[in-house]
A and B are shown apart, each in its own frame.
Chain A
Amino acid sequence: MSMFGYYLNLALRSLMRNKMLTALMVIAIAVGIGASMTTLTVMHLLSGDPLPGRSQHIFYPQVDPSPLPDPENTHKPWDMMDYRSATDLWSAHRADRQALIGRSALRLTAPDMNQPPLMAQVLSTTSDFFPMFAVPFQYGGSWQPQDDQQRTRVAVISSDLNIKLFGGANSVGRTLRLKDSDVRIIGVLAPWRPSPQFYDLVGGRFSNGQTADFYSKPQEVFMPFSSSLDINTDGFMAFTCWRAPDPGTSMTTSPCVSVALWVELGNAAKVADYKAFITDYATQQKALGRLTHADNTRMPSLMQWLDFNQVVPSDVRLQTWLAFAFLLICLFNTVGLLLAKFLRRSGEIGVRRALGATRGAVLTQCLVEAGLIGLIGGFGGWLLTLLGLALIRQQPVAYADLLHLDSTMFLATFVMAIVASLLAGAVPAWRASRVALGLQLKTL
C-alpha cells in the first residue's frame, strides 16, 4: 500500500512535469467517455425492463384473425387482436391475471372546474391491469371485477391530469364528462412513468426505427373496458383492418384488430397450459369458420414483445456506435501519447532499474500513472455526460424527461474511464518496463 502511495506521488509529479501532454490525454479520455456514457445512459434507460422482477411472468397472447390467404406461412399475427378473439380469451379467465387493452381519444371536460375542453387519451382496460402492472395510486384505488361486469361509469385519472384539472387535490368522487357521458373518478394515480410505455406498444416493425414515441407518457384516463364502449360507440383506434368496415358496423364485429390482451402466468406449467389454451381456442374457432390460420398463435413474454418491436430508436443505437467509435480513436491517441511520455523518461526508468526496481515495479508505476489520467479524465467525462444528458433533455423527444444519470451509470463512468486508460496504458507500460538498462545509463 505504501508502495502504491509512492507510485501515486511519482505519477502526480510526472503528470505535472508536462502539463500540455497531460491535458491532451485527460481531454481525450474525458471527451470519449462523455460521449459514450451519454449515449450509453440513453440506451440503458430506453432498453431497460419496465417491470423489473415481474416482467418474466407477463405475456402477450396473439391469434391471427386475418382471413387473407397466406400460402407460405409468412404472416405474423397483427400486433392486436379482433374484438371477439381478445374478449373470448379474457372471459375464459385462464391466467392468474388478465387485462384487455383498447385505446381511444375522447373529449373531456371537468364540468365544475371551468376549463376548456381537451382531447384526453383514454385507456380502456379491466380491473387486473392495476395490480398486474403494479400501478401506484395517490388517492382512491382501482375499480373491481364487478365494475367490469356491471359496466360502471368510473374512471382512474393520471397524476398529470389531476394536477391540470384539480390542482393536484384529491379528486376522488368528482365527475368528469367524457364525450357525452358523466363518469365518476374513483382513483388518482401517483406519478407513473413506465419506460417504455409497454402495455399498448404496437407497430414497432412498421415504424422504420422511429420509435421514440414508445416512451411517451401513459394515458390520462383509465376506464373499465365495458363501460368505455358504452360511452364511445365509435370503438377503439384500430391497429389495422383487413377490409374496409361496412357503414354502421359496431366494433364488436368489425373486420379490424383493435384490442390487445396481457396475461400474468406465475410459473412455467401455467405458461405451457395457456399456450395450449390459445391453440385450442384458435382450432375451435377455425372449426366454427371464424378464424382461418388456427396454427398461427404466439405468446411472447413482455421483454420478447419489446425486442420484437425494436423499441430503442435506431437513431439512439446509431449514436451509441458513433460514440464508441469516438472513444476508440481517443484511446488510440492516448496510447500514442503515453508511449511517447514513458519512453521519453527512459533515462529515469533506467536509473530506477539500476537502483533495484524490478520490471514489475516499473510496469505498476506506469499503470498507476495511466490510471490516474483515467480517473481525472473520468471526472471530466462525468461532467460532460451530465452536460450531454441536459442537452438531450432540451430536445422535443418523448423520452426527454426520463433521462437522468443513475448511480449505476455514475459508477460505470469512472470504471469505464479507468479501465479504458489502463488498457491504453498497457502496451506503453510494458514497453517502458522493457527498457534496456545499460543503454540508458550510458547516455546519461
Chain B
Amino acid sequence: MQLRPILSSLTRHKLTAFLLILQVTFTCAIVCNVMFMIATRTSQMRLPSGIAENELAMIDSVDIDATENPLVRHEQDLVALRGIAGVKSAVVVDALPLNRDNWTNGITTVPDADTHVGASAYNGTPGELQTLGLHLIEGRDFQADEYIAEDVPHGYKGIDTVPVTIVTRALAEQLFPGQSALGKDIYASGTHPTRVVGVVDHMLRPALRDPATNEYAMLFPMKPDDSEVTYVMRTAPHDRERVLKEASAVLVRLNGNRILKSPQTFTQVRDSYFHRDQTMVGLLLVAGLGLLFVTALGIAGLANFWVQQRRRQIGVRRALGATRSDILRYFQTENFLIVSGGIVLGMALAFALNLTLMKFYELPRLPLYYLPIGALALWLLGQLAVLGPALRAAAVPPVVATRSV
C-alpha cells in the first residue's frame, strides 16, 4: 500500500482532515478518562464488606425515656427478637459497615505517641462476630467477662478501660507490619492498653474514603448504650422482609417509648451507600458510549462525502487497473492515518485531563494501560465507521471514468 498518494490527497483536504483528527483527539482523551472513572467507582462499589450481606436485617431505635437503663432494655429486646421464627441470632450494635455511623479513633502502638492510625470502632453485644458473619482468621472471639458498657452518656468512657479488641487484617498489618498482632497492645485512648485477641480478614468502615484505609477497623467488647442503637438480626435471605415487619411490631410492643427508624436489609444499606456512584457510573457509561457513537457518525458522514466527491477519480483508478480491494484499502488506510493522528494527540490530552481531574476531584493517576485500550477502541471504531462508505467506493464501476459527473 502506497501511503504517499493518500497523504498528498489529505493535504488537499486539510481543514476536513484536521477537524476529524481534532474530534478523535477529544474523544480519545475523554473516553480514556471516563473509562477510568467508571473503573474506579465500580471497584469501590464491589468492595466486600466482610459481613454476611445477604442474611442481615436491621432496625434503628431511638430511645426517648432517658431514665431507663438501656443495657437492660436491649437485653430484653434481644430475647424477644431471637424468639421470632427464622431469626438465627440477634445483637445490638452502634455501627455497621457502610451505614455512615463512623466513630474514628486514633490508634497507636505505644502510649501517647504523636502519630496515630485512624480506625473505626465497632461496638456490640456478645455474639456480634457470629451474627455479622465476620471471618476470624487468628485468635478468638470476646469472652463474656470482657464486656463492659460503652458509656456514651459520659463521653464514651468505655474506651478508657476496654481490655481487649479484635482488629481487621488491614489494621493489624499497618500497626504491626511483618508480625502477628495477637497478644500485642494498642492504645485507643491515651495510656490505656487494649490487647489484640483476634484478627478478622475483612471488615469495611462505616464510611469509605481512601482505598488504603477502607478496612482500618476494630471491634470492642463494649455494649452500646447511646440513645440510638441498631438491632441486627441474622436470618435466611428470603425471611428478611418478614422478620423486619415482625421485629418492628415486637420492639414497639415491648416499649412504645421509642422511635423506630429505617428497618432495612443490609442489601439496602449497601445500595443506598453506593447509590450516588451507581448513578454516576450510569451517566458516565451513557456519556462515553454517546461520544463514541457521535464520533462514529462524524467519521462515516465525512467518509461518505469524500467518496461521493471522488467518484470520478475512483472510476479512473479502476479503469487504470486498480482492484476493488485496492480502493477499499485506500479508504481504510486513509481512516487509519487520520485516527492515528487523533490518538497520538488524544493520549497527550488524556493525561492533561487526568491531571486536572486529579487536582479537582481526588481521582488517582490514569494507569498507562488505558491508553492502548482507548487507542484500540478508536481504531476499531474508525474502521467500522468507514467500512460502509469504503465498500460503496469499491463498488464504483470503472465506466464512471468515461462519464462526466
The reply to whether chain A is a binding partner of chain B is yes
Which A residues fall within an 8 A CB radius of B?
21, 24, 28, 31, 35, 107, 117-119, 208-210, 212, 244-247, 314-315, 317-319, 322-323, 325-326, 328-330, 332-333, 335-337, 339-340, 343-344, 395-397, 427, 431, 443
Across the interface, A209 reaches (CB within 8 A) one of B155, B298, B304, B361, namely B361
A210 to B261, CA, bound (A): 23
Q: Mark B282-297, 1 if CB is under 8 A from A, else 0.
A: 0110010011001101
Is the Cβ of A336 less than 8 Å from the Cβ of B298?
Answer: yes
Is the Cβ of A315 less than 8 Å from the Cβ of B280?
Answer: yes
Q: From residue A181, how far is it (CB to closest CB) to chain B in Å? A: 13
A212 to B279, CA, bound (A): 14
Q: A118-B259, A245-B155, A336-B301 are in contact. Are A31 and B290 (CB under 8 A)?
A: yes
Q: From residue B263, how far is it (CB to closest CB) to chain A in Å? A: 14
Is B379 an interface residue, CB under 8 A from the partner?
no
A322 to B301, CA, bound (A): 24
Chain A, residue nearest B159 (CB)? A244
Across the interface, B294 reaches (CB within 8 A) one of A28, A315, A323, namely A28
Is the Cβ of B259 less than 8 Å from the Cβ of A24?
Answer: no
Residue from the set B154, B279, B298 with the largest chain A CB neighbour count within 10 Å = B298
Q: A208-B209, A333-B298 are in contact. Are A344 and B155 (CB under 8 A)?
A: no
Number of interface residues of B (CB under 8 A): 45
Write out the residue numbers on chain A whose beta carbons fall within 8 Å of the beta carbon of B304: 340
A302 to B297, CA, bound (A): 48
Chain B, residue nearest A118 (CB)? B259
A343 to B62, CA, bound (A): 73
A190 to B34, CA, bound (A): 44
Q: From residue B211, how far is it (CB to closest CB) to chain A in Å? A: 14
Is the Cβ of A315 less than 8 Å from the Cβ of B276?
Answer: yes
Is B27 an interface residue, CB under 8 A from the partner?
yes
Q: A117-B259, A340-B305 are in contact. Are A35 and B287 (CB under 8 A)?
A: yes
Write out the residue numbers on chain A whose beta carbons fall within 8 Å of the beta carbon of B276: 210, 212, 315, 397
Q: From residue A328, how far is it (CB to closest CB) to chain B in Å? A: 6
Is the Cβ of B23 less than 8 Å from the Cβ of A329?
Answer: yes
Q: A332-B26, A396-B275 are in contact. Are A326 and B308 (CB under 8 A)?
A: no
Is the Cβ of A344 less than 8 Å from the Cβ of B309?
Answer: yes
Is the Cβ of B301 less than 8 Å from the Cβ of A24?
Answer: yes
Q: From residue A393, how far is it (CB to closest CB) to chain B in Å? A: 13
Write out the residue numbers on chain A whose beta carbons fall within 8 Å of the beta carbon of B404: 443
| Segment with Cβ contacts to A, from B13-21, B43-51, B194-202, B313-321 | B13-21
Write out the residue numbers on chain B whose beta carbons fall within 8 Å of the beta carbon of A344: 305, 308-309
Sorted from nearest, which 5 A-B pairs have the closest CB atoms? A340-B305, A333-B298, A332-B23, A247-B154, A244-B155
A-B contact pairs, 12 of them (CB 8 A): A118-B259, A119-B261, A208-B209, A246-B155, A318-B361, A323-B287, A326-B291, A329-B23, A332-B23, A333-B297, A340-B301, A443-B405
A397 to B16, CA, bound (A): 44
A29 to B138, CA, bound (A): 61
A28 to B299, CA, bound (A): 13
Write out the residue numbers on chain A whose beta carbons fall within 8 Å of the beta carbon of B186: none
Across the interface, A117 reaches (CB within 8 A) one of B64, B297, B360, namely B64
Is the Cβ of A329 less than 8 Å from the Cβ of B155?
Answer: no
Write out the residue numbers on chain B whose beta carbons fall within 8 Å of the beta carbon of A107: 62, 64, 259
Is B129 an interface residue, CB under 8 A from the partner?
no
Is the Cβ of B155 less than 8 Å from the Cβ of A337?
Answer: no
Is the Cβ of B295 less than 8 Å from the Cβ of A329?
Answer: yes
Interface residues of B in 336-395 (CB under 8 A from A): 360-362
Is B30 an interface residue, CB under 8 A from the partner?
yes
Chain A, residue nearest B30 (CB)? A325
A330 to B290, CA, bound (A): 10
Q: A336-B20, A431-B15 are in contact. Are A247 and B155 (CB under 8 A)?
A: yes
Chain A, residue nearest B29 (CB)? A325
Is the Cβ of A333 less than 8 Å from the Cβ of B154?
Answer: no
Is the Cβ of A319 less than 8 Å from the Cβ of B283?
Answer: yes
Write out the residue numbers on chain A whose beta carbons fall within 8 Å of the beta carbon of B261: 119
Write out the residue numbers on chain B whose beta carbons fall within 8 Å of the beta carbon of A322: 30, 34, 283-284, 287
